[in-house]
């Protein structure tokens, strides 16, 4: 097994956004968790991989499936609200959340 190099390649952003974080944020989160920055980043990446592996591929309907269902619903019922259109596609708890 190859020995870790002791460095991590990670490009911090100048500010926090939906696609990246600044170093100060990682430092603060790592300090709160009681780990190093590297350990914190590795933990986040490991969580991401675990989530990706555990979610089924069919968690959400495909765009084509939604489009076909919407077209069929509108053909049967005419113009309706978005919540009514989604009623045949999403579970009740999802529909309740968007009302």
Question: Does residue 24 or residue 8 have the better pLDDT?
Answer: 24
Predicted confidence at residue 99, as pLDDT, reads: 53
Residue ranges of domains in the chain: 1-55, 63-98
Q: Which two tokens stand for residue 96?
A: 């309740």
More confident residue, 2 or 63: 63
The set of residues, in sequence order, having a beta carbon less than 8 Å from that of 11 and lying 6+ positions away, is 20
**Residue 54: pLDDT over 60:** yes
In order of 18, 31, 84, the CA distances from 10 in angstroms are 16, 18, 45
pLDDT of 20: 85
pTM of structure? 0.49
Phi and psi angles of residue 75, each rounded to the nearest 5 degrees, phi first: -60, -35
- pLDDT (tens digit per residue) in 59-90: 667 777 777 776 776 666 666 555 554 555 55
């Amino acid at each position: 097994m190859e020995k870790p190099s002791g460095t991590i390649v990670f490009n911090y952003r100048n500010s926090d956004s939906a696609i990246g974080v600044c170093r100060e944020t990682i430092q603060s989160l790592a300090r709160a968790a009681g780990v190093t920055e590297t350990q914190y980043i590795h933990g986040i990446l490991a969580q991401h991989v675990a989530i990706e592996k555990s979610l089924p591929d069919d968690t959400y309907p495909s765009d084509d499936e939604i489009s076909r269902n919407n077209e069929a619903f509108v053909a049967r019922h005419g113009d309706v609200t978005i919540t009514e259109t989604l009623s045949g596609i999403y579970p009740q708890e999802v529909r309740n959340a968007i009302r």
